[in-house]
Amino acid sequence: SQQGEEDPQALSIQEGENATMNCSYKTSINNLQWYRQNSGRGLVHLILIRSNEREKHSGRLRVTLDTSKKSSSLLITASRAADTASYFCATEPVRDFNKFYFGSGTKLNVKP
Amino acid sequence: SQTIHQWPATLVQPVGSPLSLECTVEGTSNPNLYWYRQAAGRGLQLLFYSVGIGQISSEVPQNLSASRPQDRQFILSSKKLLLSDSGFYLCAWRDDLAGVDEQYFGPGTRLTVT
């Protein structure tokens, strides 16, 4: 399956620390996106990185993409308690344009 | 600005009953529309997507169907619910005409089949 897989499944850190979560996928992609989900809510788009990009920043977020390893990482710097949520990566495969495949997510807990 | 609505927010239905979940998008035209299901503590599974009125693509064989009777309306249905249909159903849209790759999600419907 094309579905991305995040690791770790769960991550618990102190406020102010950095949080890193990883995503791996199986086939060539057009882009990879990271989303955030607060408990019981819809998903919110965080950042998109295209297959020809290697790194992207948005505020406290930094995303990297290594297409040779078929992996991506999301770094949240100087985490806050409000960052507590589940984070998902989603891939749009080259051969399945218009379809998005989500991983099972990383549950981040930031302790105040 | 664009908004996406889903209703109802929660639903408890007995096994064998029918289902109709509605999703509407405002402030955009000809969006790509998606239905996902999320099991407890898991990721999202793509169920259906639509690139236009009456155009539905199904991702997995299942007890559900989808329809798009209007440009900005996407409906998820079932004739007879199964216990395994329980989950969190999310609708999303994407502005393909503008070449935007991000998806925007609705608030979701939590379905419990008893």
Q: Select the residue from A36, A96, A102, A109 to test the B interface by mutation, using most B Cβ atoms within 10 A.
A: A102
CB atoms within 10 A of CB A85: 20
Q: Select the residue from B44, B45, B58, B90 to test the A interface by mutation, using most A Cβ atoms within 10 A.
A: B44
What is the distance in angstroms between the Cα of A90 and the nearest Cα belonging to chain B? 9
Q: What is the SS3 assignment for A6?
A: strand
Kindly report, residue by residue over B14-23, the tens digit of the pLDDT.
999 999 999 9
- CA B7/CA B80 separation, integer angstroms: 19
Q: What is the SS3 assignment for A79?
A: coil
Residue B7, Cα to own-chain centre: how many angstroms? 10
Q: Which residues in chain B are contacts of A48 at CB distance < 8 A?
A: 101-102
DSSP tag of A70? T
Position A3 confidence tier, pLDDT thresholds 50, 70, 90: low
Kindly report, residue by residue over B45-63, the tens digit of the pLDDT.
999 999 999 999 988 767 8
- Tell me if B34 and A100 make a contact (CB, 8 A cut-off): yes
- CA A12/CA A8 separation, integer angstroms: 10
DSSP tag of B57? E
What rounded mean pLDDT belongs to chain A? 93
pLDDT greater at residue A4 or residue A87: A87
- Tell me if B101 and A3 make a contact (CB, 8 A cut-off): no
